[in-house]
Structure formats: structure tokens, C-alpha cells
Amino acid sequence: MPKAASEHTRAHNSPRDLGMDPADFDRASRGLVAQHATGVIEGAWGPAWDVSKYDFIEQGAPNPDTVHPSLWRQAQLNAIHGLFEVAPGMWQARGYDISNITFIEGATGWIVIDPLTVEGCARDCLALANEHLGERPVTAVIYTHSHTDHFGGVLGVTSPEAVAAGDCRIIAPEHFLREAISENVIAGFAMARRAIYQFGPLLPPGAQGHVDCGLGKAIPLSPPGLLAPTEEITHTGEELVVDGVRIVFQLTPEAEAPAEMNFFFPDRVDGGAGWLCMAENCTHNMHNLVPIRGAQVRDALKWSKYIGEAIDLFADRADLMFASHHWPRWGSDDVRGFLTRQRDMYRYIHDQTMRLANHGETPLEIAEQIELPPELSHECHTTGYYGHLAHNVKAVYQRYLSWYDGNPANLWKLPPSEVGQRYVELAGGSDALLSAARTSFERGDYRWVAELVNHLVFADPSNGEARDLQADALEQLGFQCESATFRNAYLTGAQELRQGHPPRNPAMRRGYLDAMTIEQLLDAMSVRLRAEDVGGVDVAVNLVVEDADDRDWKLILSNRALQGSPGAAANGAATLTLPREALVELAAGEIDADQLSADERVGLDGDAAAVHAVFGHLDTFLSMFPIVEP
């Protein structure tokens, strides 16, 4: 069970005037048209979303002593939900997913920007718009970038049949599909598990548990889907007319996502002004330069420059700025001021980190030194509710200099369980280590307690006193966090130390696999090869995928590595002729090599043993691997 705030935490979280712009609450509430009738949205596994879970977050109420006052303010803002008119011809549904869905009135139907994370949330938001604004077909979907919460609900607003018939365009930045698959499939199991710590979906909502995600209220609980784009934007300045609406695009790769784009609607306001969509490159918090769930490190320098480019290209003509999270900004001066601070914040973090790195400071040392200057602090959109300044500093360092800080003592460190045993011995045994840690806990030195007791937990995960004290320390750290993601990570760690990690189950993100190319499916299978089982095997198998545009493929198993590539191998030991669906089932772990060979949909010509050699040694990944214990 969660515990109360300690005296140190109560002092740290004392309610106070944060000096932030009160107009944020007006912006977040402006233009309300309607709210979801029940606040409960059904998904594949039951309720995907329930607004009432966050009724404890009362507008205008002071923060509880278990929540940082600044994070509480952000949680109040993110609790505002409904369908909002942003401008004539544009509406957003906010507060029914971690992200926003935007509806643009086209000549014949809806242009949907970012169809949320899961089908149910997107479906209900579209129904809300149709009910109150007049029913229209969805004629286009725009994915701003390659993160799941901006495409995973696409099946709630359109269908594969509508896309295939040309009734609905799907527009995305260049390399969207490659980057979406790289993140969500190649690293999918590890990232999904770590994301539980970042977003805290297993924490009970409440003042001692989950209050927010910083970037939005919460992650909906339902599986995402994916439809591949029909069109890609390939360069800045590219223009499209989408259902009668002119859009000018700006590519921003390697900023907030590896594939991302801003865009501008130049004709949407009388008098020559227009609307600027900043995707997720500018939202109402400091963002991640690398999320704690894991991802490719983002380029803070490019990010800053892209915002500067957006100012140069669009700010003089923009009377409105909106994004894929949070609330819009209205008025050209407000838009320019917002963008300027966002631009300067990322540049400041980049330049000051590397300045100190070039003085020989390590990432841990730099993270303790850097603070935002007064010019950039005291705004919610420069506060680390989702990102965290200390973590972002380390991301900048990692991008240029790797995780390694240059000290050879840290070059090849012992694994946690082994180093834990040695620290316990050095401390004089478990009792001595726990005694020292309890003294530090009473002083409120929770970071040191977490460092110290972590060694004992990894040396002896069955030690109940160590688990309890570590949980207590992580919990107080979580209560004190301004960053929602850090809070969720600390509190999830505390919960798992007390209750154990959730059951482990095999799971594959089938919704992604259905949209993947043949090459991506083969790459996903290659990651699963149990190399220890295939020593000395050198074999090639050809594939003929009957219903794919590119029918001929080869898989070569050589030197314990599996390579898939287009074209047939002249020395192929066997040829499999199969439908794409059978390959998806194999990649998803729904069938194995023996079932594949026996499948009536599959034709085999050649050596069945070669097929088994290639496909018969694929590992099974299990969800919910341990994190705060060995």
C-alpha cells in the first residue's frame, strides 16, 4: 500500500505561488463545444479510458502533500476535456487520450490530424465531432510523426478498405513507416516494458499514485493499430491540397521523432493569417531529448533550428498555433513568443551541456549544475513535466560522446547482482547496510537510500526489509517529482518492489505487423534468432509471397546471423510459396516452423530441414521482465 508523505516531502511540496501564466487555464478551456456523454471509452480489453478516475484532481484546489505543486497545476490543466472549437473550421478533442485529435473541415469531409493511440478513443472522438458538428466522411488522415499516440487509433476513423479504394488519403513524413516499426517492433518488447514505468498505467489513479503523464493525462489501455501511409512528404516547402485545403509542410526529422513534420494552413483566416501545426515539436512542457522508456537520442541542436525555421517560414503569417498535445495559442504575438522560448530552451540545453562537456565535466556532474535561467523558467511550456532537465542533459552528452563518461573505472562495470553482493560485503553485511540506509532515510536523503539499498536488492531480492526500504525511498522521490514521468517511474518501482512485477506473457504487437513491409517482417524475425542453437548452419531459403508487390525474397542463415533481402538465392535449399498473412503469423509467434511447413496455404519445394533451420529457432519474448530486481 502507498504510504504518506514524509515531513521532508511535505516541506518540499508545500503549496506556493508558482508565478506561471494563469491564461493557460483560459486557453485550455476556450471554445468548449461538448464533452463525452459518459467519459468512459470502450477498448479491446474493456474500458480504454475513464475520465472519472481523475475526479480527485479538482480545478482550483491546492496540491496534496504527495504531489509537487507544479505537477498538480499541469494535472489540473490536462484534466480539462471535451471537443473544442479552435477556429472556424477546426476543432480538437482533448482529454480522451494522452494526445489530441484535430478535425479540419474539408470541402467534402474531415481531415483528421493524429488519430490518437487506440481505436476506441479515436472512434468516440470522431462520433463526438459528427454528433455536434454534422456528420462527414473522413477524407484524409495526417500522421504528424512516428510515435504510437499519433497513429495507433487510425482504425477508429477509417478502414483499410476506404484507404485501398482511395476514399481516404493517409499522409505522413518521409520514412514514417520505417521509424514507427524500428521503435515499436525491433525494440518493442523492451520499450513497452519500460514505458510502464514512464507512463504509470498500472498505478492506481490518486494523490499517492497516478496523477498525470505531463504530456497528457494518461495512456489509454487498448492495443494500437496501424495503416501504412499512402503519401509521404519529402521536403520542406512541399504543398498539398487535401480535400480542398492547402497545406504547406516543414520536415523536422531527428527532432522530437525520427520522422516528423510541422505544417501550415495559409488560407484559413481572413486577412492573410493562417494556422500553424507544430506537431509534437512544441508543446506545453519541456520535452524529452531521450524518453526514459528508451528511444533514439533526439538532436537538440536540430530541434532548436527547426523551431527557428518555423518562425522564419510561418510566424509572420500565423495567428494560431496548435499541436498534438495540450492546448493552442492564439494571436501572432503569443505564437511568436511561445515559439521563441521553445527554440531558445532546446538551444540552451544543448549548448550549455556541451560547453561543460568540453571542460571535462561528466554527464552526472553537468546534470547537477545546469538550471534553466530566469528568462526560460516560470512557464509551464518550459517546465519538465514530461522531459526532465537532468535527463535531457545526459541525452545531449550521449548523442555526442556516448553513455561512457571517459573514466575507465566506468568502462566495463560489473553487472548489478554481482556488484551488489560486493557492496553488501563492503558495508559489513545486510544489517549494517540497512542501518546506514535507514539513517539516511530519516534525514530525507532519498536519492542516496535508493542508490545504497539497490545494491542489497540486487544481491538478495528475497530480503523483505531491503525491498520495503527501497520502495519507501522511491515513493518519497516520486511524491517530490515535478516531472510526471519521473514520478511514474519511481512510484511504479515502489509498487513492484512491494507487490512483484506483473505476470509475464508472450505478446507481439500484431497491429503493427499487419502494416509492415516484407523486409520489416523479416527483420523483426531476425532479431528473435537464438544464435546459440544454429552454430555451423549455413543455408538459404527462398520465399515467394504470393500477394505482395515484391514477391521474391531470400533468407540466408550464415555465421549465426539471419539476413532477409529481396530476390531469390541461386543456391536456395528450399522455396516456400505462401501468402503474406502466413508470414505475419510467423512473425507474430502465432505459428511455429512446423506449423508453417504443414500449413495448407504454404507450398514447399525442396529441403524441409532447411526451412526448419531458418524458422525453427526463433525466440519468444515475454512481457513484464523485472526491472527493480534481478
CATH code at 528? 3.30.1050.10
The whole domain housing 593 covers 510-615
Residue 511 has a pLDDT of 76
Residue 27 has a pLDDT of 98
595 confidence band (pLDDT: 50, 70, 90) = very high
Q: How much of the chain exceeds pLDDT 90, in percent?
A: 92
589 confidence band (pLDDT: 50, 70, 90) = confident
Same domain membership, residue 490 and residue 449: yes
User: How many structural domains compose the chain?
Assistant: 3
Q: Are 165 and 138 in contact (CB under 8 A)?
A: no
Same domain membership, residue 278 and residue 309: yes
- Label residues 498-519 b or e (16+ Cβ within 10 Å = b): beebeeeeebbbebbbbbbebe
Residue ending a domain, choose from 474, 499, 524 = 499
Residues 193-205, mean pLDDT to the nearest whole number: 97
Same domain membership, residue 561 and residue 490: no
Please provide the distance, in angstroms rounded to a whole number, between the alpha carbons at the two ends of the chain: 22
CATH of residue 460's domain is 1.25.40.880
Adjacent-strand bridge partners of 170: 141
Residue 505 has a pLDDT of 82
Residue 187 has a pLDDT of 86
Sheet holding 329-330, edge to edge: 239-242, 245-251, 261-265, 274-277, 318-322, 329-330
Q: Coil, helix or strand for 132?
A: helix
Same domain membership, residue 478 and residue 360: no
Same domain membership, residue 325 and residue 230: yes
**C-alpha–C-alpha distance, residues 450 and 435, integer Å:** 14
CATH of residue 86's domain is 3.60.15.30
Same domain membership, residue 484 and residue 335: no
Structural domain includes residue 97: yes
**C-alpha–C-alpha distance, residues 67 and 73, integer Å:** 10
Residue 509 has a pLDDT of 61
DSSP 151: T
Residue ending a domain, choose from 302, 335, 369 = 369
pTM of the model: 0.94
Please provide the DSSP assignment of 259-279 as one string.
SBEEEEETTSSTTS-EEEE-T
Structural domain includes residue 109: yes
Q: What mean pLDDT is reported for the chain? A: 95
Cell of 208: 499517492
Structural domain includes residue 398: no
Same domain membership, residue 290 and residue 363: yes
Structural domain includes residue 395: no
Structural domain includes residue 628: no
Q: Are 384 and 285 in contact (CB under 8 A)?
A: yes
List pLDDT tens digits, range 327-357.
999 999 999 999 999 999 999 999 999 999 9
Structural domain includes residue 623: no
**C-alpha–C-alpha distance, residues 247 and 541, integer Å:** 46
147 confidence band (pLDDT: 50, 70, 90) = very high
**C-alpha–C-alpha distance, residues 518 and 212, integer Å:** 38
What phi and psi values does residue 72 have, to the nearest 5 degrees?
-60, -40
**Apex 81 CA angle, 76 and 87, nearest 5:** 115
Structural domain includes residue 106: yes
List pLDDT tens digits, range 405-428.
999 999 999 999 999 999 999 999
Structural domain includes residue 390: no
Q: Are 203 and 196 in contact (CB under 8 A)?
A: no
Same domain membership, residue 247 and residue 147: yes
Residue ending a domain, choose from 499, 525, 548 = 499
Same domain membership, residue 461 and residue 323: no
Residue 508 has a pLDDT of 62
Distances (CA, A) of 272 to 275, 316, 317: 10, 10, 7
Q: Out of 213-217, 461-465, 469-473, 502-506, which region has the weakest mean confidence (pLDDT)? A: 502-506
Crossing angle of the two packed helices 69-78 and 484-499, in degrees rounded to 10 = 100
Distances (CA, A) of 66 to 481, 484, 491, 495, 594: 9, 13, 11, 15, 55
Q: Are 299 and 353 in contact (CB under 8 A)?
A: no
Same domain membership, residue 269 and residue 209: yes
List pLDDT tens digits, range 431-457.
999 999 999 999 999 999 999 999 999
Residues 307-319, mean pLDDT to the nearest whole number: 97
Same domain membership, residue 487 and residue 551: no
Same domain membership, residue 221 and residue 91: yes
